[in-house]
Copies of this chain bind each other. A is one copy, B any other.
Amino acid sequence: MAPFYDSIERPTLLLDAARARRNITRMAEKAQRNQLRFRPHFKTHQSAAVGEWFREAGVTAATVSSLEMAHYFAEHGWNDLTVAFPANLRQIHLINALAQRVHLQLLVEHPVAAQFLATHLTAPAGIWIEVDAGYARSGLRWNDRAQLTALARTLADCPTLSLRGLLTHAGNTYAARSPAELATAYQSTVDRLNDARTWLATEGFPGLEISIGDTPACSVLDDLGAVDEIRPGNFVFYDWMQVEIGACHADDVATVVACPVVSIHPERNDLILYGGAVHLSKESLLSRKGQLTFGAVVLLTEQGWSAPLEDVWVRSVSQEHGVVHAEGAAFATLLHTAQVGGLLGVLPVHSCLTADLFKQYRTLEGQTLSMAPIPGSLG
């Protein structure tokens, strides 16, 4: 094990900085090859230190998921920020403070929000119409032409608002389980956004951009098609979900939770970890083998951690407990290394939620990297 692992006493979020930097470089290069603006989503890492690695890769624009996160990164020198969440009108004073300070872009999808911003915004902001291209979370449906036009008109009437384009989160790529399925889902999204763009051009709103963001498509596809901007976020760390989707290899995953082993139950091939829902989150997935999984299991090594162990997985979590199960021979093998008082690593199912719970990282060099504070502590 890396020397400082001996000092780990409780569940600790480890970060392999070299892997994260490699993930960043790879995606930045792909954006460049596709001649796209790269505006990575920072909600995954929420850390100014990790933001610096993006800056070193030439990135100057970022996406965030809350105004508090925008404030945090503005404090750390980021001055071109898109808040990729429908504008929260109750925070208009924070929106105005940010619009005065940085190049702020907001999302609008509802006429009430457009009207409110048109009358309450005191500094200029770029506006993206959020489009639902089939995922059915937030966004105006791509083929709701009357609403698209009405929204664009409301926005055009206001001098502080400048309509930049159409933005979507193509969350449906997460359901794909092969590159072909993924390419089809992505292409459908791009086509629908381009339909909406063409429509708005004929309605007198030419030159709109298209912004799209999801880690699976941006990772797997070489040609990102007729779009202007990509906003993937998760790729900086990846996670077990992305491995299962096929968006990355297990050795691209840059975070692992080091968990103390507190008990072993040979009678049922289980091992009890100090590491539960308040560390990993309750995100789960059904593995290709049909196992409900709250995390993959790795051994901690001199260099970081091993490949995920075959037939070993976190089968349940409660507030502080994680129960690791190993099938057949895998349990015997696991017992060669695992012992009460030792450590095991868990590759999280969803690294964004896991990072959000820890609020800090420990790099393999033993350095602690801090993250944005919990919102609500801000003014």
Interface residues, chain A, with chain B CB atoms under 8 Å away: 8-10, 12, 43, 65-66, 68, 85-91, 94, 109-110, 112-113, 116, 136-138, 141, 144, 171, 260, 262-264, 267-268, 270, 272, 274, 277-278, 281-283, 316, 318-321, 323, 339-341, 343, 352-353, 356-360, 374-376
Q: Tell me which of B116, B323, B353 contacts A319 (CB under 8 A).
A: B353
Contacts of A356 in B (CB 8 A): 278, 319
A112 to chain B, nearest CB (A): 4
CB of A321 within 8 A of CB of B112, answer no
Nearest B residue to A109, CB-CB = B263
Nearest B residue to A277, CB-CB = B353
CA distance A85 to B340 in the complex (A): 14
Question: Chain A's interface: helix, strand, loop or mixed, by majority?
Answer: mixed
CB of B110 within 8 A of CB of A263, answer yes
- Interchain Cβ contacts under 8 Å between A and B, 8 examples: A9-B90, A43-B319, A85-B262, A88-B262, A112-B340, A144-B267, A282-B282, A319-B353
A62 to chain B, nearest CB (A): 16
Nearest B residue to A112, CB-CB = B340
On whether A321 and B376 interact (CB within 8 A), knowing A282-B283, A340-B113, the answer reads: no
A121 to chain B, nearest CB (A): 14
CB of B113 within 8 A of CB of A282, answer no
Contacts of A358 in B (CB 8 A): 374, 376
CB of A65 within 8 A of CB of B272, answer no
Nearest B residue to A66, CB-CB = B320
CB of B87 within 8 A of CB of A262, answer yes
